[in-house]
Amino acid sequence: MTSSRAFSDGKRALIAYLMGGDPNPSLCYDAALSVIEGGADALELGIPFSDPIADGPTIQAASVRALSAGTKPADVLELARELTKNVRVPIYVMTYLNPILRMGLPAFARAASTSGVTGVIVPDLPIELSDEWLVAARAQSLETVFLVSPATTSSRIDRIVEKCSGFVYLVSVYGVTGERSSLPDYTQEFVSRVKNRVTIPVALGFGISRPETVKQAIKLGVDGVIVGSALVSRLANSEGESALDELRSYTRELKAATLIA
Residue 169 sits in a domain of what CATH number? 3.20.20.70
Contact between 167 and 223 under an 8 Å Cβ cutoff? The reply is: yes
How many percent of the chain have pLDDT more than 70? 94
Compute, in degrees rounded to 10, the torsion defined by CA atoms 34, 23, 79, 37. Answer: 0
Whether residue 226 contacts residue 15, with contact meaning beta carbons closer than 8 Å, is answered with yes
Residue 1 has pLDDT above 50, yes or no: no
Whether 189 is covered by a domain: the verdict is yes
pLDDT greater than 60 at residue 13: yes
Query: Residue 9 region, left (φ>0) first, then alpha (ψ -120 to 50), else beta?
Result: left
Is residue 7 a part of any domain in this protein? no
Residue 129 lies in a domain: yes
214 vs 7 pLDDT, higher one: 214
DSSP 8-state assignment for residue 166: B
Averaged over 130-143, what is the pLDDT? 97
Query: Quick one: pLDDT band at residue 261, thresholds 50, 70, 90?
Result: low
Residue 182 — pLDDT band, cuts 50, 70, 90? low
Rounded-to-integer distance, Cα 7 and Cα 120, Å: 17
pLDDT band for position 186 (cuts 50, 70, 90) = confident
Task: Indicate whether 2 belongs to any domain.
Answer: no
Per-residue pLDDT, 219:
94
**Number of structural domains the chain divides into:** 1
Q: Which amino acid is at 131?
A: D
- What are 67-96's pLDDT values in tens digits? 999 999 999 999 999 999 999 999 999 999
Task: Answer yes or no: is 126 within a domain.
Answer: yes
In the prediction, which pLDDT does 210 show?
92
- The three state secondary structure string of 220-235 is CCCCEEEECHHHHHHH
What's the confidence (pLDDT) of residue 6? 83
Cα separation, 261 vs 251, whole angstroms? 19
Which helix (H) or strand (E) is 150 found in, with range? none
Task: Note whether residue 214 is domain-resident.
Answer: yes
Q: Which domain holds residue 148?
A: 12-257
Grouping H, G, I as helix, E, B as strand and the rest as coil, residue 239 is coil
Q: Which residue in 45, 145, 30, 40 sits closest to 89, CA to CA? A: 40
Any domain includes 252: yes
Write down the pTM of the prediction. 0.93
Q: Distances in Å between the alpha carbon of 66 and those of 84, 205, 230?
A: 21, 22, 17
Residues classed as catalytic: 44, 55
